[in-house]
Chain A
């Protein structure tokens, strides 16, 4: 299709637009930047920080938090502010916990399954809830985060209530024809988890980029910009809203499953409303019109707060202030600093 590709790098404020044949193709510079990002993740970081489990753990967290936030970014692309992602991460976490501890299902099967379970639940809940817009949708999804937490807390023998599910087995080895492709994950070294997190993040970025630059992405954008008009030209608005929300929940579920295996436990309080808000904040901070937005936001905040141990007690306060600052002065996010400012928030007024 020929539409403008602005997601991976910048959005041209006005005027230029590329046409059809270039759809979904990256410029050389974009490819180079992405390759650089991948190299840093997979080569530079392990070489420089591989001996420090602490830093590797921090970066692992940042990578998966980015991955989960990418899901929230998808719901932003249909014009919905989603505060339920914590709920779906919790669902994914419990899915892997229950499947692995009770039924002995391998982590490698649990991971996609927990994504699918979250997506199915998301589609079911999303169908009616996605009719709501603006602040009503945000509030409903906010309470959904709380509702799922309470559900986990009162889940009886299935979720084991407040004690949570502990001793979730780590991912096992993957072998093919007697060859070990992925060795068993052990407790001492977080590096395998780090590599898995980075692999998920890169896959997630490619998948979301593909979604966003395909016709589906343009249909999503049309929903954000005017649902009535989209309906009038025959777009089944309800269907595409659910597809977007389902994709978001899928990523939330996968991320939740990863953390459950990483920490080997899951509790009802593992994801609360503040986590849901943070996922959204990462998107805002990085920039809603950039696929890399949530990644930039998540890495920046996660790393910053690990480095600033002293202020961690004030995390909620600082995040709150940051959100206000961001909306007032940087409505298009940090990544928009690299672009000509056109004076208007791309998502302004919603």
Chain B
């Protein structure tokens, strides 16, 4: 069953069509990658799915309900959580504090309850602290959990970004270039990590440049070029697709443009 269904989504910025009538669906428990050359509209598509940008037309269905038009925090509340391309993190908090704060949408206490430290608020904090510790352990960050995020090395920051997203207990996790800037060993570790998260029952959609990682990890790949979907299929299918080869090698641009 498709957990996420993107139907004919289009985004125009003035005269530029960044994403043009793209449709695909994501099966529950799958890893789907969106690839394409620079400027293909991958990041825009990402923002459209997570509601950070409103589409010009088309819509996104999640579990059979349209989430297009909802505020981005509402989309997150329903279980579609995104990460960010760069090291977007609460820099002046420790790793642990980052992940604890990220539990906000699991709060059972009201704002007043939080202010007056009601029993519910205290129970929340206890739960969040334990859960955050567990997430950090799982992502291999337990040794640095009391370090300020801005002092963490690059690789740890990426993992912390995922930890923060995990705290929101996503059903669908949108990962924006999770392997960029990583060497081979780091990529291997990150691939295992993403697969591990999938095995915990989280559906994963990722946008990525790193072809080798994508080919290894994906159940399905969607290829964008100039905002248009030019191919979709398993890694082996996509690898053999002529339009894809053309787009990546820069040949036959005229044909693709049609």
Q: Measuring CB to CB, which residues of chain A are less than 8 angstroms from any residue of chain B? A: 1-4, 14-17, 19-20, 23-24, 210-211, 214-216, 218-219, 221-222, 225-226, 228-229, 231-237, 243, 346
**Which residues of chain A are near B206, meaning CB under 8 Å?**
none
- Given contacts A221-B92, A232-B165, list 5 more A-B pairs with CB under 8 A: A221-B93, A226-B88, A226-B90, A234-B73, A235-B73
Q: Across the interface, do A215 and B121 meet the contact criterion of CB distance under 8 Å?
A: yes
User: How far apart are the CA atoms of A211 and B164 in the complex, in Å?
Assistant: 23
**Which residues of chain A are near B52, meaning CB under 8 Å?**
228, 231-232
Q: Across the interface, do A17 and B92 meet the contact criterion of CB distance under 8 Å?
A: no
| B50 at interface by CB-CB < 8 Å | yes
Smallest Cβ-Cβ distance to A236: which chain B residue? B73
Contact of A20 among B89, B117, B126 (CB under 8 A): B126
Given known contacts A14-B151, A216-B115, A229-B164, is B121 in contact with A19 (CB within 8 Å)?
no
**Which residues of chain A are near B72, meaning CB under 8 Å?**
231-232
Given known contacts A2-B100, A214-B114, A219-B104, is B94 in contact with A233 (CB within 8 Å)?
no
Query: Can you identify 17 A-B contacts, CB atoms within 8 angstroms?
Result: A1-B125, A2-B97, A2-B100, A14-B147, A214-B115, A214-B117, A218-B101, A221-B92, A226-B91, A229-B84, A229-B90, A232-B72, A233-B81, A234-B81, A234-B104, A235-B104, A346-B92
The 5 closest A-B pairs by CB, nearest first: A234-B105, A234-B76, A20-B129, A17-B94, A1-B125
**Within the complex, what minimum Cβ distance (angstroms) separates A133 from chain B?**
16
**Which residues of chain A are near B83, meaning CB under 8 Å?**
232
**Which residues of chain B are near A23, meaning CB under 8 Å?**
125
**Which residues of chain B are near A346, meaning CB under 8 Å?**
92
Q: Across the interface, do A1 and B94 meet the contact criterion of CB distance under 8 Å?
A: no
Q: Across the interface, do A228 and B73 meet the contact criterion of CB distance under 8 Å?
A: no
User: How far apart are the CA atoms of A229 and B114 in the complex, in Å?
Assistant: 22
Chain B, interface size: which category? Answer: 35 or more
The number of inter-chain residue pairs (CB within 8 angstroms) is 124
Residue with the highest number of chain A CB atoms closer than 10 Å, among B72, B73, B91, B128: B73
| B148 at interface by CB-CB < 8 Å | yes
Given known contacts A23-B125, A218-B97, A226-B89, is B146 in contact with A233 (CB within 8 Å)?
no
User: How far apart are the CA atoms of A63 and B47 in the complex, in Å?
Assistant: 48
User: How far apart are the CA atoms of A211 and B117 in the complex, in Å?
Assistant: 10
**Within the complex, what minimum Cβ distance (angstroms) separates A180 from chain B?**
31
Contact of A229 among B71, B88, B96 (CB under 8 A): B88
**Which residues of chain B are near A229, meaning CB under 8 Å?**
84, 88-90, 164
| B198 at interface by CB-CB < 8 Å | no
Contact of A232 among B50, B101, B121, B128 (CB under 8 A): B50
Q: Across the interface, do B84 and A232 meet the contact criterion of CB distance under 8 Å?
A: yes
Given known contacts A3-B97, A233-B167, is B114 in contact with A215 (CB within 8 Å)?
yes
User: How far apart are the CA atoms of A299 and B104 in the complex, in Å?
Assistant: 37
Q: Across the interface, do B73 and A215 meet the contact criterion of CB distance under 8 Å?
A: no
Q: Across the interface, do B77 and A225 meet the contact criterion of CB distance under 8 Å?
A: no
Q: Across the interface, do A2 and B125 meet the contact criterion of CB distance under 8 Å?
A: yes
Smallest Cβ-Cβ distance to B88: which chain A residue? A229
Q: Across the interface, do A4 and B105 meet the contact criterion of CB distance under 8 Å?
A: no
User: How far apart are the CA atoms of A179 and B107 in the complex, in Å?
Assistant: 45
Q: Across the interface, do A225 and B114 meet the contact criterion of CB distance under 8 Å?
A: no
Smallest Cβ-Cβ distance to A215: which chain B residue? B114
Given known contacts A2-B125, A221-B90, is B73 in contact with A14 (CB within 8 Å)?
no
User: How far apart are the CA atoms of A221 and B125 in the complex, in Å?
Assistant: 17
A-facing residues in B103-138 (Cβ within 8 Å): 104-105, 107, 111, 114-115, 117, 121, 124-126, 128-129
**Within the complex, what minimum Cβ distance (angstroms) separates A79 from chain B?**
11
Q: Across the interface, do A1 and B104 meet the contact criterion of CB distance under 8 Å?
A: no
**Which residues of chain A are near B100, meaning CB under 8 Å?**
1-3, 20, 218
**Which residues of chain A are near B244, meaning CB under 8 Å?**
none
Q: Across the interface, do B128 and A1 meet the contact criterion of CB distance under 8 Å?
A: yes
Smallest Cβ-Cβ distance to A229: which chain B residue? B88
Q: Across the interface, do A233 and B164 meet the contact criterion of CB distance under 8 Å?
A: yes
**Which residues of chain A are near B125, meaning CB under 8 Å?**
1-2, 20, 23, 215
User: How far apart are the CA atoms of A237 and B73 in the complex, in Å?
Assistant: 8
Q: Across the interface, do A211 and B84 meet the contact criterion of CB distance under 8 Å?
A: no
**Which residues of chain A are near B168, meaning CB under 8 Å?**
232-234
Q: Across the interface, do A4 and B76 meet the contact criterion of CB distance under 8 Å?
A: no
Smallest Cβ-Cβ distance to B104: which chain A residue? A235
Q: Across the interface, do A17 and B50 meet the contact criterion of CB distance under 8 Å?
A: no
**Within the complex, what minimum Cβ distance (angstroms) separates B227 from chain A?**
23
**Which residues of chain A are near B104, meaning CB under 8 Å?**
215, 219, 222, 233-235
**Chain B 128-164: CB-based contact to A (< 8 A → 1; otherwise 0):** 1100000000000000001110010000000000001
**Within the complex, what minimum Cβ distance (angstroms) separates B249 from chain A?**
35
Contact of B96 among A2, A14, A235 (CB under 8 A): A2
